[in-house]
Structure 1
Amino acid sequence: MSLTWLATGGGPFIVVPRSALALWSGTEGDYDRACEVMDLVGVLELPGGAEALVLGDEPLSTAHLPEHRVLVRWCYAESEEGVADMIRAGLPTAEWEEGPELSTTGELVMFDAAYFGTEVGTLTASTALELSAGRYRVDSTGVEPDHLTSFRVHRFVELV
């Protein structure tokens, strides 16, 4: 199985509930706040109490592996061949670092934070993350199957 990789123009990715896309103002204000996140992931509050997840640190190409509710960020690898299988094999033994909590009304949309949420699907590529409404903790780990291959992985852990 091949993953679909998205890249940004050099800034962070933002992950916003589909119901709150119109609230993301891109370079008109929210982009600067997203760029201030220095951690691997961070949460920003949007108007009306909605929350957005920022994939901070480096602007790495990112893909979604839906059956495990994870985002995979490409650090380095020789090729894309077998990446999904490498990630799947690394998840059971991964040492996860607990991350911030995020509330969502349901489906999330990941896209380049420089764009307005209203530009998703027209001016910028995106990927949807099918999650139920609720509260999630976003944990992070590294998956390094060998010295030539490294990925950063973020998982959504549903909180009850």
Structure 2
Amino acid sequence: MLYTWVESGGGPLVVVPGSRLVHWGGAEDCEGPEETGDYGLACAVEGYIGLVPVGGGQGLVLGDEPAMTTWLPDERCFLRWSAADSEAGLVDAARRALRSDVEWDERLTWDVDGPVVLFDSAWPGAEPGNQVGIDLEPGTYDVRSVYREDDRNWMILVHLQPV
């Protein structure tokens, strides 16, 4: 299976509920330095994951590094490519890691009202392009992240578990 990967221009990626996409201004809503606006909020997140306000809801920031990211639907997991020889090898390594006893580095609780969209936080949410739509059920999710590596694959996993 081939996966659709979202790339970043250098900043964090963000996952925004589809109902809130029009409220994400990206870097275009910055009035000067990057520290302002939606993009600035995303850049201020420290660590692998964080939440930022978006139009009365919350967006999930995938931080730490601007790694290419895809969604593994069967595992409910964002897979962030730090280093690997191939997509297939990386996906297999991620699945093995998720089946093992994972000691998660970070956790948070995220409420969503339905499907979400993954994209580069510098872009306005309503602008089509470098995006992946994800069919999430409305509800509350325990979001957990971890950095893992084996001899050939380095990755960040961001797993969503319904509460």
Q: Report Cα offsets for 1:68-121 as digits up to 9, x if no partner.
A: 1000001111232332222112211122234111111110100011111110x2
Runs of at least 4 residues off by over 3 Å = none
What are the ranges of 5 or more consecutive residues in structure 2 without an aligned counterpart? 30-36
Q: Distance in 2 between matches of 1:2 and 1:144?
A: 22
Letter in 2 for 1:112: D
Matched, 1:82 2:89: yes
SS of equivalent residue, structure 2 residue 74: helix
Shift of 1:155: 0.5
Matches within 5 A, 1:1-160: 1-27=1-27, 28=29, 29-47=37-55, 49-93=56-100, 94-119=102-127, 121=128, 124-146=129-151, 148-159=152-163
Letter in 1 for 2:91: A
Q: Distance in 2 between matches of 1:12 and 1:152?
A: 13
Question: What is the aligned-residue RMSD (CA, Å)?
Answer: 1.4
Aligned residues of 1:3 and 1:84 also touching (Cα < 8 A): no
Relative to structure 2, which stretch is displaced further, 38-47 or 82-91? Answer: 82-91
Q: Percent identity among equivalent residues?
A: 38
TM-score for the superposition, normalised by structure 2: 0.88
Give the length in aligned residue pairs: 154
Letter in 1 for 2:17: P
TM-score for the superposition, normalised by structure 1: 0.90
Q: Distance in 2 between matches of 1:30 and 1:43?
A: 11
Aligned residues of 2:58 and 2:111 also touching (Cα < 8 A): yes
SS of equivalent residue, structure 1 residue 75: strand
Q: Distance in 1 between matches of 2:61 and 2:106?
A: 15
Q: Distance in 2 between matches of 1:45 and 1:98?
A: 19
What are the ranges of 5 or more consecutive residues in structure 1 without an aligned counterpart? none
SS of equivalent residue, structure 2 residue 126: helix
Partner residue in 1 for 2:33: none
Q: Distance in 1 between matches of 2:122 and 2:71?
A: 20
